[in-house]
Amino acid sequence: MAQDILITLPCSTPNGGGSLVDLILADLDGTGKRYELTTTFPSTGTFPSAPARLAEGTPVESRKTGMQLLTPEGGVVVDANSTLLQNLFTLPASLAGFPIVGCVIAHMVIRNATISLSTVSVAAGWNASGNNTFATATHTELTGPTLATVILATTGQTIGLASGSFGIKNSIAQGVAANFTVDVFGYIF
C-alpha cells in the first residue's frame, strides 16, 4: 500500500492576500489512483481564526490545516500526584473521510499549575510508559497558575499511528494534591 505524501505550499496573491495549497498524492483506495486536494483562503489574507482540532475520538471538519491543537480546546487537566498513564487524546482512524497515516508532535505546553511543581517528573508519548515523544523532566519553573512552559518534542520521536492514544505519565509524583493543564500541538498526515 502506498503511503500518503503531503506537500504544503504557502503562497501570496498579488494584492497581498494569502493562500495555502495542500497537495495530497496517495493511493487511498488501493487502485493506484492519485488524488489532489487544494485549499485556498480568501485573498484578503484572513485565515481561519482557529485550526481544526481533535477531540477525544471525534473527527474534525478538515484533514489538512498545518499544525493543530490535538488536545481538546482548553487543554487536559493532569493529576500531578499520579504515576499512572493519563490519556491526553486519541488519534482517530480517519478525518473528513480520509484515512490517517500518522501524527507527529511538535510541542507541548504545560500551564496552570495549582501549586509549585517542585517534585513531579513528567514525560509524554504514544507508548505505555508515556515517554517516547517527550523525555522525562522536572519543571520547577512552574510555581503557579500564571506561568507556562513550552516543551519541544524529542528528536527521533515515535510517530503516532491512527487510533493510537497519546498520554502523559509522571515518573515521580508531586507528593501532594496538584494539577496542571497540558496542550499538545502537532501535524496529522
**CATH 2.30.30 at 49-188, yes or no:** no
Q: What is the pTM of this model?
A: 0.66
Asked if pLDDT for residue 49 goes beyond 50, the answer is no
* Whole-number pLDDT of residue 127: 94
Q: 24-33, 40-49, 164-173: lowest mean pLDDT where?
A: 40-49
Round to whole Å and give the CA distance between 188 and 51.
12
* Whole-number pLDDT of residue 40: 43
As given in the structure block, the three cell numbers for residue 146 are 500564571
Write out the residue limits of the CATH 2.60.120 domain(s) in the chain: 49-188
Residue 90 dihedral angles phi and psi, to the nearest 5°: -120, 125
Round to whole Å and give the CA distance between 80 and 180.
7
Round to whole Å and give the CA distance between 114 and 144.
6
Q: Are 95 and 185 in contact (CB under 8 A)?
A: no
* Cα dihedral 24, 25, 31, 33 in deg (nearest 10): 100
* Whole-number pLDDT of residue 6: 53
Q: Which band of pLDDT confidence, cut at 50, 70 and 90, is reported for residue 64?
A: low
Round to whole Å and give the CA distance between 135 and 125.
9
* Whole-number pLDDT of residue 33: 46
Residue 50 dihedral angles phi and psi, to the nearest 5°: -140, 130
Round to whole Å and give the CA distance between 55 and 89.
7
Q: Are 54 and 91 in contact (CB under 8 A)?
A: yes
* Cα dihedral 80, 82, 86, 88 in deg (nearest 10): -10
Q: What Rg value do the Cα atoms of the chain yield, rounded?
A: 19
Round to whole Å and give the CA distance between 19 and 12.
6
Asked if pLDDT for residue 11 goes beyond 80, the answer is no
- Average pLDDT in the chain: 77
% the chain with pLDDT above 90 = 56
Model confidence over 79-133: pLDDT tens digits? 999 999 999 999 988 877 788 889 999 999 999 999 999 999 999 999 998 899 9
Asked if pLDDT for residue 17 goes beyond 80, the answer is no
